[in-house]
Amino acid sequence: MALVLAAAFAAQFVLHELPCPLCLLQRILFATLAIGPILNIRFGPRPSHYALSLLAAVAGAIASTRQVLLHIMPADGGYGSALLGYHYYTWALIGFIAAIVLLAAILLFDRQFEDDGAALPPTGALVAQIAVWLVIGLTLLNVISTLLECGFGACADNPPVYELLKRSS
């Protein structure tokens, strides 16, 4: 999840392309996908934790499908740049569908839900802690960039410039 959020950020700053509202919603839902695994690290694997991630993945797939359909007409160039032939919302749709399939595959293994009596560390291993703090950090960076982009009003459908930077310059 941290990698996906970092890639979206890189595209935003390297290519100077501002994310549209649906793009932002897809980023939010990618961050929400991480909540199930974080609960698994903290409290141990439970079906309800996977359910939270599945719901986020389905919501993300709906939002990205909507954006794909917005640009489905042959003459439409799409929103933003393409990466390896697909726009970011198409990659997002592929990512959310892959997450649904992966979560379903993980749920096939019932033995993970059996209580083996082993005590879990309160916040997981070091790698898990780094991953969680990365997701939290990237989500907070998105708070700042979205505030700069949208300002204090409703976010524009096709934002040309950072709203707050425009006002201050």
Partner 1 sequence: MEFTLLFLAVAIVILAAWRGSHPLAFGLYAAVMIACAAAYLHHATDTLKLSF
For residues 32 and 56, is the Cβ–Cβ distance under 8 A?
yes
d(CA 140, CA 88): 21
Q: Please, what is the minimum distance in Å from the beta carbon of residue 3 to partner 1?
A: 16
Q: Residue numbers of the site for partner 1 (CB under 8 A)?
A: 21-22, 24-25, 27-29, 31-32, 34-35, 38-39, 42-43, 48, 52, 55-56, 59, 62-63, 66, 70, 73, 123, 132, 135-136, 139-140, 142-143, 146-147, 150-155, 157
* Residue showing tokens 């290519």: 15
Residue among 71, 56, 69 nearest 25 (CA) = 56
Query: Which of 92/150 has CB closer to partner 1?
Result: 150
Query: Which of 62/108 has CB closer to partner 1?
Result: 62
Query: Which of 90/131 has CB closer to partner 1?
Result: 131
Q: Please, what is the minimum distance in Å from the beta carbon of residue 13 to partner 1?
A: 16
Q: Please, what is the minimum distance in Å from the beta carbon of residue 106 to partner 1?
A: 18
d(CA 91, CA 80): 13
Residue among 146, 54, 57, 143 nearest 104 (CA) = 54
Q: Determine how many CB atoms are found less than 10 A away from the CB of residue 146.
A: 17
Q: Please, what is the minimum distance in Å from the beta carbon of residue 84 to partner 1?
A: 27
For residues 68 and 26, is the Cβ–Cβ distance under 8 A?
no
Q: Please, what is the minimum distance in Å from the beta carbon of residue 34 to partner 1?
A: 6
Query: Which of 98/141 has CB closer to partner 1?
Result: 141
- For residue 82, report the phi and psi dihedrals to the nearest 5 degrees: -100, 145
Q: Which amino acid is residue 100, in one-letter code?
A: I
Query: Which of 23/87 has CB closer to partner 1?
Result: 23
